[in-house]
Structure 1
């Protein structure tokens, strides 16, 4: 397999970002939803206009993972929008981090996570938040190893279906891409 590269997405990458977003979400979670719920969610979450807006917003950032000329994963980050009473305007959120299944479990997710966290903490330490599906145990373990702890939960709508989503937070400290030694507890994973 070709060596993957991770690069910051720009305005010309809207179609690629929307495409990989819809593809990885469907590959990971599509089997859980009625087709009409999935279609509605994909249009809302990964529509081209929404994606262009994300890429145009200076408070947000996205990355593409490419291998052999193909996009195989991505991440998005920005201000925290999770429904938790302790979220402040200074909080950051790792909003999405996905790799196609064939690219998971080889360290690429950790590299992508490191790029995203470095961007989130570029101006110094701050609380970083993540929403993770309650049944995504691999993601929860990954983020737990990196110092995130569960601090709440909420209902995440996918069309007419509402999933139980955990809210994880890493308190404002300096960042390391190395897993925390004493942590115990992601998105698709990656």
Structure 2
């Protein structure tokens, strides 16, 4: 078994879009209407939007490979790229998604550990993220890894206002 994490570049834009759409659908399709999923995808994962996010100086995307197969990805943000206004000593994990066929292999933990290393390298004091209140698997994963709920915010899936819990880990 080999696990490899690589930073994404503009050359990876198409693959990033494909895995973003695939993993988002896998994660949220069962609990949301097809119309709301489609509306979200058409806004969040266009090539133009992903390219703009990738070009932001304070955002980074990473692919994780399992035995040389693209298994998932992560996006982290600092400073003005964060999706919420937080203090300057924070790093946001905006997205960690693992393809369903690669789940339960510890890959999410590898990505989370990379985010924590990035945060420490950037002299950040905490790492935070948003998790949908009904994503029990993710809530349990982050709780087991030292994240605690510190707030909540609205997340719109199409026209459906949902609640994400803000979870934070002090480094």
Quick check: TM above 0.5? yes
Does residue 43 of structure 2 align to residue 41 of structure 1? no
Q: Unaligned regions of 5+ residues in structure 1, if any? A: 174-190
Deviations 1:70-91 (A, max 9, x none): 42210000033236xxx22442
The offset of 1:93, in angstroms, is 0.3
Match of 1:82 in 2: 84
Match of 1:128 in 2: 127
Deviations 1:78-118 (A, max 9, x none): 033236xxx22442100000101111111111112111221
Deviations 1:135-169 (A, max 9, x none): 11221122122221101112210101122211111
Q: After the TM superposition, which residues 92-131 of structure 1 pair with which residues of structure 2 at under 5 Å, given as runs?
A: 92-131=91-130
TM-score by length of 1: 0.81
Q: How many residues align?
A: 168
Q: Distance in 1 between matches of 2:29 and 2:131?
A: 16
11-20 or 68-77, which moves further after superposition? 68-77
Structure with greater proportional helix content = 2
Q: Unaligned regions of 5+ residues in structure 2, if any? A: none
TM-score by length of 2: 0.89
The alignment partner of 1:121 has SS state of helix
**Contact kept? 1:82, 1:167, Cα under 8 Å:** no
Deviations 1:162-188 (A, max 9, x none): 2221111122x2xxxxxxxxxxxxxxx
Structure with greater proportional strand content = 2
Does residue 57 of structure 2 align to residue 55 of structure 1? no
The alignment partner of 2:58 has SS state of coil
Match of 1:180 in 2: none
